[in-house]
Amino acid sequence: PNRVLLGCFLLHYAHRALIFPLLIREGKPTPFFTFVLALLFCVFNGYLQGRSLTTYATYPPGWLGDSRFITGFLGWLIGMAINIHSDHILRNLRKPGETGYKIPRGGMFEYVSGANFFGEILEWFGFALACCTIESFAFALCTLFILGSRARQHHK
């Protein structure tokens, strides 16, 4: 279970750090202070999740078949799929050179205005349920507060 859960965490960040930046066409520059805060959060959280799953978290035999793991893993998987699909929709809102505000349509954007944020929040609460550790739950709460406030700003 520890390797599967660590793999989920690493898969998300491999996508976010390696694949996602290559897909972005153009965008607004990120302020340096925001970049530093995000980097510090990711380094600290990566250490915390990695250390938890490699050193402290122990699971009973059959954990991969436990309903908490299965439900959490499905939440993580569905959340990641929503996040990736929503990012795709956002990347393709405007034609090259086009500017101005556009409202995204399709996918989960038909139900929530911040579908990308919703997907990531679902992803990390699913991860927390699959892990059942205080570290993963703390990460899910941080994600909810940080992305929830961003989603609220975008909705307004």
> Which DSSP state fits 106?
S
Q: What is the pLDDT of residue 135?
A: 98
**Which residue has tokens 């491999």?**
14
pLDDT band, residue 96 (cuts 50/70/90): confident
Q: For residue 118, what pLDDT is reported?
A: 98
Please give the mean pLDDT across all residues of the chain.
93
pLDDT value for 95: 82
Contact between residue 118 and residue 82 where contact means Cβ atoms under 8 Å apart:
yes
SS3 at position 96? coil
What pLDDT shows up at residue 3? 97
Mean pLDDT, range 75-103, rounded to an integer: 91
At 73, is the pLDDT very low, low, confident or very high (cuts 50, 70, 90)? very high
Q: Give CA–CA dist 136/124, Å, rounded.
A: 8
- The reported pTM is 0.92
Whole-number pLDDT of residue 52 = 97
Handedness of CA 131, 132, 135, 140 (dihedral sign): positive
What per-residue confidence (pLDDT) applies to 29?
Answer: 80
